[in-house]
Amino acid sequence: MKIIRHLTILGSTGSIGESTLKVVALHLDRFNVVALTANKNVEKMLSQCHCFHPRYVVMLDHDSAEQLTVACHKDGLDTTVLSGVESLEKVASLDEVDMVMAAIVGAAGIRPTFAAARAGKQVLLANKETLVMAGRIFMDMVKQHNATLLPIDSEHNAIYQALPHDFAGDLSAKGVRRILLTASGGPFRGVPLSELQQVTPEQACAHPNWDMGQKISVDSATMMNKGLEVIEAHWLFNAMPEKIQVVIHPQSVIHSMVEYIDGSVVAQLGNPDMCTPIAHAMGYPERIESGVASLDLFEISRLDFEQPDLVRFPCLALAYQALATGGNMPAVLNAANEIAVASFLARKLAFTAIPTLIEQVMQTISYNAIASLDDVLEADNLAREAARDWLAHHG
């Protein structure tokens, strides 16, 4: 007999949220959608309400919540529409919910993800910022409240699959030599450095393998995305920075690898489709259908690997630096990057100035230890102010 899992999706109108609902649609006998959340996309959320009939919907934006309330009433939908951060925390910790997909992009996703962990839920983590900004606090909370944490990023999900089932946070005890975190290298891996100054947002968002949102696509182009994933891997797998090696793998077929002391390297392969790691986490410990096509090794025919060039990708070096410094610095890195990427997408900052802004903010803000979520959010605010100030003088 199949157990029905009751699900909240934080960020259901984004790319991860939509992929999650694709998997749900394949298994309506396994999953019941209790709550969906979004920021402002009323049209898409209304469509999701018609398809999945959630009991609750949260729109972070108050005006969008009012619009959706009217639309749901007009269409005869029995859905309660709420708004605000407190409502996000509420639907992430509902008694009837046992699984929470944390897929809100950016710092806005931290509080509801924390709420899910505090409530002891099975947390499917796609929100990078929770671990990047508040890794130690979050991991302590997961342990303290007996929550279950399953990574959704394709790389971390691959590592999770390549580690032993009974891995409990000690890599050396399981004979692990290092983690090999793969990266596509983005759209500018082979572009002459002299041409990067003229890169446009459209070019940066044209990822060769993955269909992602604008912010993550730019992060992939700068390799900040991989830098953030290094920080995440540190917290998820209790891995020191020197045990995490980034490997550029343009085909994006091997999603990551684990090297053991006996010389074995265990890799997880698959087509570049987020429905695979999502289905893995949603079905865990079972395997369920994801809707993703089988991998055709004959069509791929070859797999290439390169060492990352830190001159071409200074954001990756900055992320390793932030991780080594610790304390508030990963939060500072993340916040400065968010401001830099938004400015680049608005055509107010050159692509090559993204790491310049981040480095300047990291130099401006002093190191501080992190003891609480409030400390994390204060570091985030200070870094955003410093980034905006830098832009005002140099943008």
| Domain spans of the chain, in order of start | 5-151, 160-270+305-320, 326-395
pLDDT at 173 over 80: yes
> 371: which residues sit within 8 A by CB, 6+ positions away?
none
| Equal fold, 5-151 vs 326-395 | no
CB atoms within 10 A of CB 41: 17
Q: Taking residues 62-67, what's their average pLDDT?
A: 97
Per-residue confidence band for 207, with pLDDT thresholds at 50, 70 and 90: low
**Signed CA dihedral, 130, 316, 219, 339: sign only:** positive
Residue 75: strand, helix, or coil: coil
Residue 272: strand, helix, or coil: coil
Residue type (1 letter), 355: P
Q: Over the stretch 269-320, which tens digit does the pLDDT of each residue have?
A: 999 999 999 999 999 999 999 999 999 999 999 999 999 999 999 999 999 9
Q: What's the distance, CA 182 to chain centroid?
A: 15
pLDDT at 395 over 80: no
C-alpha 364/C-alpha 383 separation (Å) is 9
CATH H-level superfamily of 5-151: NAD(P)-binding Rossmann-like Domain (3.40.50.720)
C-alpha 233/C-alpha 323 separation (Å) is 11
Residue 245: strand, helix, or coil: strand
pLDDT at 384 over 70: yes
> What is the Rg, in whole angstroms, of the alpha carbon atoms belonging to the chain?
21
- pLDDT value of position 167: 95
Residue type (1 letter), 351: F
Q: Taking residues 125-154, what's their average pLDDT?
A: 95
CATH architecture label of 326-395 = Orthogonal Bundle (1.10)
CB atoms within 10 A of CB 256: 27
C-alpha 258/C-alpha 271 separation (Å) is 19
Q: Over the stretch 108-122, which tens digit does the pLDDT of each residue have?
A: 899 999 999 999 999
Residues 182, 156 contacting (CB under 8 angstroms) = no
Burial of 29 (0-12, 13-18, 19+ CB in 10 A): exposed
- pLDDT value of position 239: 97
- Long-range contacts, stretch 23-28, CB < 8 angstroms, 24+ apart: 23/275, 23/278, 23/279, 23/282, 23/288, 23/290, 23/291, 24/52, 24/282, 25/51, 26/288, 26/289, 26/290, 26/291, 27/282, 27/288, 27/289
pTM for this model (two decimals): 0.93
pLDDT at 106 over 90: no
Q: Smallest Cα–Cα separation from 254: which of 187, 327, 154?
A: 154
